[in-house]
Amino acid sequence: MTRGLEILSVGMVTPVGLTAPTTAAAIRAGISRVRETPFVDLRFQPHPGAFVDTACLPELHQVDSRLGFREARMLRLAAPALREAARHLEEPPILLLAMPEELRPEEVAPTRFLEALSRSADVPLDLSRSRCVAQGRAAGLVALAEAFQLIQMHRATDILVGGVDTFMVPELLATLELEARLRGAGPSDGFIPGEGACFLWLGATGRGRRSRIQPVATIEGVGTGHEPGHRYSQEPYRGEGLAESFLSLFASRPVSAPRVQSVYTGLNGESFWAKEWGVACLRSRDHFSDDLRTHHPVENIGDPGAALGPVMLGLAAIGLQRGYLPGPCLVWCSSDREERGAALLCAQEGETRGDR
């Protein structure tokens, strides 16, 4: 477990809010944007989904024509969120961007996408050191682990960790339906497709004070793991990867430290993920409060794919800052394939604003 990053700002675009504060307030109020969509299933019934109103997203100008529909949609989601998170940055930062597993390097050139994002958001980036992490839901936490290393090795002062994804792609929805993974009418073991983008400006402990910026929250540490028996593997599914992430996260944390009070979970409506959550929780039970509160933002915004990790980090940070979320707070995510990740957040000592 590595320690000590400050979240200095958060930018977010989701189906329930076009900024981080409005998203957090809407989810806290129980607002949901799950609706029938224009996309139909194999029975010609509308797919339920949670998508941002296209009219609320910025138009793209001078974008590389080689980017496909999904990447263009992701640019429109990501640009305003990146602009919100980077508004006080003075120098071009490194960006570690979580992206969907389907967007492997051979399918979309990461550098091309990052260049287009920088132009669309009008935010200069250190493109020579920025990269895309195409590892799905856990990618944001994998990127966070890399950010810890870069900052603690003094190879970077400021880093943006973000994620963007959308399921608003007919071909992708059709594939997921054939795999029986989408929520249908009535009870079903499936998820509601969503979309979103979130970015977090991270710095070492004390960075906010030196810049006269009040940090939103502190990330105490991050742990990652790999699940051999993931959804598309032939290996037995034992839930080892998430348990490994938890054990790595808590390895250097004394048992006498405050126990985890809240959890933002990567559960998305599919029962598949419940097993590894149970295994991981049991193996690290000494670190959890008996009165544990769990939060599932996918109930409000659908499953935003690779954006889920950064979105939950942002929501947890805002909740800790505002005082309505008891901490420490655990955030965990699992990808469809082997990647798993977990992070622990706490409020800035003496800086909680109070419940509002």
At 119, list the tokens.
């132009």
Q: How far is CA 102 from CA 17, 223, 279, in A?
A: 26, 24, 28
Whether residue 3 has pLDDT greater than 70: no
CATH topology agreement for domains 5-211 and 220-346: yes
Q: What is the mean pLDDT of residues 11-32?
A: 98
pLDDT of 349 reads: 73
No. of helices (H) and no. of strands (E), the chain: 10, 12
Whether residue 292 has pLDDT greater than 80: yes
Who's near 290: CB < 8 A, 6+ residues apart?
none
pTM for this predicted structure? 0.94
How does residue 254 score in pLDDT terms, banded at 50, 70 and 90?
A: confident
340-351 pLDDT, tens digit each: 999 999 998 755
CATH architecture group of domain 220-346 = 3-Layer(aba) Sandwich (3.40)
Q: What is the mean pLDDT of residues 296-318?
A: 98
Whether residue 270 has pLDDT greater than 90: yes
How does residue 103 score in pLDDT terms, banded at 50, 70 and 90?
A: low
Who's near 108: CB < 8 A, 6+ residues apart?
67, 68, 71
pLDDT of 2 reads: 46
Return the CATH number of 5-211, one of 3.40.640.10, 3.40.47.10, 3.30.210.10, 3.30.2010.10.
3.40.47.10
CB atoms within 10 A of CB 3: 15
Whether residue 61 has pLDDT greater than 60: yes
How does residue 356 score in pLDDT terms, banded at 50, 70 and 90?
A: very low
Q: How far is CA 196 from CA 13, 134, 307, in A?
A: 6, 15, 6
| Alpha helices for the chain (secondary structure H) | 20-28, 69-85, 110-121, 139-152, 170-178, 207-211, 240-250, 274-283, 298-301, 308-322
184-242 pLDDT, tens digit each: 765 578 999 999 999 999 999 889 888 889 999 999 999 999 999 999 999 999 999 99
Return the domain boundaries, the chain: 5-211, 220-346
Cβ atoms of residues 7 and 217 within 8 Å: yes
Q: How far apart are CA 78 and CA 73, in angstroms?
A: 9
25-53 pLDDT, tens digit each: 999 999 999 999 999 888 888 999 999 99
